Amino acid sequence: MNTNEECLICGSPLEYLENDTMMECVLCHKQEPSKTRCTQGHYVCNDCHTQGMDSIIAMCLAETSKDPIAILEKMMSKSFCHMHGPEHHVLVGAALLTAYNNAVTDDSLKVNLAEGLTEVMSRGRQVPGGACGYMGACGASISTGIFMSIVTRNTPLSTDTWRLCNLCTARALEQVAENGGPRCCKRDSYLSVLSAVDFVKENLGVEMERATVTCSRSQINNQCIGKKCPFSPRD
C-alpha cells in the first residue's frame, strides 16, 4: 500500500459518486448503498472502517486532561483512526466531553462520562461518511452539537439549550467552511474542537484548555491544501 492513505485495501485513490450505488464491503461482505469506493472498486463499510473505535470509551474514562486537542490527538494516533473517515464524527465529541468534564468545577454541571461517551458514540455513528460533501454539514462540526446536546441535556423540545446546540454546530461549520475544501478530517476536527472550546467558555462559563495546533499528518493527505491550512507548519 502506498504511504498516503486512500483505499484501506489497496491504497488506490478514492472516488466519490454522484448517486448511491449498492456496494459490498470487501471485509465483512455486508451490502449497503454508498457513494464512495476506490478506483479499483474496493468498498469498506463504516463499521469495518472504524473497527476498534469502542476502545476510546476506556481511554477517555482514564483521561485527566482539560485539553480536548490533546485528547483528540491521542485518539487519532490509534490504529482505528485513519487520515479521513467517519470516526472523526465520534472523536470530536468524545474529546470535548472528556475535557469538559475534567474542567468543570461545579459538580452539578458534570455529566456521567461513561453514559455520555456511549451517547456520543451512538449519535456520531449515525452521521455518514462524506456528510461534508453530500449533506453540506461536516460530521466533525456536527459532533460539537452532539457534545453540546449531551452536556446541556438537550432534546428536540428544549428551548434555550436547543438554541445553544444548533448555534454551537453552526459556529463550527462556519470555521470549517471559511477554510474551504477539499475536506481534511484532521483540519476540520481541529477547527471544530477549537470553535467549541470558545463557545463553551462564552455560553456555559466552563474553560477548557485551548491548545495551539500544528499538523503533523500533511504527508499522508493527498488533498492537503498546504500553507493555506491554518495548522500548517510555518517554517
**How far is residue 71's CA from residue 168's CA, in Å, rounded to a whole number?**
20
What is the average pLDDT value for the chain, to the nearest integer?
92
For range 72-80, the mean pLDDT: 94
Residues 96, 98, 104, 105, Cα dihedral to 10°: -160
Q: What is the pTM for the complete model shown? A: 0.88
Q: What is the pLDDT of residue 48?
A: 84
33's enclosing H/E stretch is: strand 31-38
What is the three-state SS of 25-51? CCCCCCEEEEEEEECCCCCCCHHHHCC
Summarize pLDDT for 42-72 with one digit per residue, the tens: 998 878 877 888 899 999 999 999 999 999 9
| The pLDDT of residue 82 is above 60 | yes
Nearest to 109 by CA among 118, 97, 119: 97
Give the tens place of pLDDT for each residue, 171-207. 999 999 999 999 999 999 999 999 999 999 999 999 9
Q: Using one digit for the tens of pLDDT, what is the confidence trace for 92-124?
A: 999 999 999 999 999 888 999 999 999 999 999
Return the C-alpha cell found at 98. 472528556
Q: Which residue has the higher pLDDT, 20 or 64?
A: 64
User: Per the omega criterion (within 30 degrees of 0), is the bond before 233 cis?
Assistant: no
